[in-house]
Copies of this chain bind each other. A is one copy, B any other.
Amino acid sequence: MRFASDNTSGAAPEVMAAVLKANEGYDRSYGADAAMGRVTALVRKIFEAPEAVVHLAATGTAANALAIATHCQPWGAVFCHAHAHVAEDECNAPEFYSGAKLVLVPGDHGKMTVETLSSSLARTGESGVHGVQRGMLTLTNVTEAGTVYSVPEINALSALAKTYGLPCHLDGARFANALVTTNATPAEMTWKAGIDVLSLGGTKNGCLGVEAVVLFDPARAWEFELRRKRGGHLWSKNRFLSAQMEAYLTDGLWLRLAAHANAMGQRLADGLAQKGASQRHPVQANMQFPEWTEGTHARLEAAGAAYYRFPAPPGREAARLVTSWSTTATDVDQFLNAF
């Protein structure tokens, strides 16, 4: 009954086994390890992107901040949702790495729309040298509200950004969960939908700590490497990152883990609906924000459930519940029984 975050789960057995195996003998350092080449090949195949460049980092904040800094000038505006992780949960890392300004785009359920983005774009960069210039777009999928952008939605937003010549980044800390929800292919949700650079999350979905940054346009690959090193994010024993990512992407493990997490989320949502709980946002992946009547927190926590409480109107209580690759049906059912 541990629903605080998918990052309170450990690593999947396949990933851990790969780390163990990677420990045999000597290997070249700083990304020249053999597994890193295999990771690149896997990503290129899975994303149908034979020229994509792949680099690893250990945290999602690093992946996002480096991806943004590589695609936006210090006098640029990064258009992101008002509650995006880059805006609220990274303690200025994107600004630190890029020097740019985040422009907060509103939108219900964690998603910007063509209308809200269009309005933000129109209001920015219209005062010549005095204000920041339009710089780039960054979307998050799965969003911070647990909702999922469809491929057509991504396409529409990136197309709008492209009318201003802006590169598009996708924060995919939960990318696999979004793929599972939409049934899209990795290519369809990224470069075919106008995404130029992807933070491909592993940590939350069964790895120890690894994210891949996928640059669909290799032109900025060397700059990315220099920025990564300058940020202290280049591992000497990179094999321990590449081993994770290789296992994660092999034989569809990443999608199986995400499918399980999403299914557990749905089971939880279904059960909560039957109990009369409401949801603040549509439940589309592995994170949900239910509301229920007062007194429920006490019962659930007494039974051992762990999750974040959220503010709620009088008489109500609210929560964030996150399921993961390691959530069991028993966990869910015990939670529902304790409700």
Contact = CB atoms under 8 A, between A and B. Distances in A.
Contact of A25 (B10, B66, B104, B227): B10
A95 interface: yes
Interface string A6-28: 01111100001001101111111
Contacts of A333: none
A7 B74 contact: no
Stoichiometry, as copies per complex, reads 4
A224 to B, nearest CB: 10
B91 A99 contact: no
A229 B132 contact: no
A229 to B, nearest CB: 4
Contact of A89 (B24, B65, B127, B133): B127
A74 B93 CA distance: 10
Nearest to A69: B74
Interface in A74-123: 74-75, 88-93, 95-97, 99-102, 104
Nearest to A29: B7
A74 B104 CA distance: 20
B229 A93 contact: yes
A74 B230 contact: yes
A163 to B, nearest CB: 20
A57 B232 contact: yes
Contacts of A10: 22-27, 237, 239
A137 to B, nearest CB: 18
Interface stretch (A38-46, A153-161, A203-211, A282-290): A203-211
Contacts of A200: none
B59 A235 contact: yes
A317 interface: no
A98 to B, nearest CB: 10
Interface of A: 2, 4-5, 7-11, 16, 19-20, 22-30, 57-66, 73-75, 88-93, 95-97, 99-102, 104, 127, 129-133, 203-204, 208-209, 223, 225-237, 239-241, 306, 326
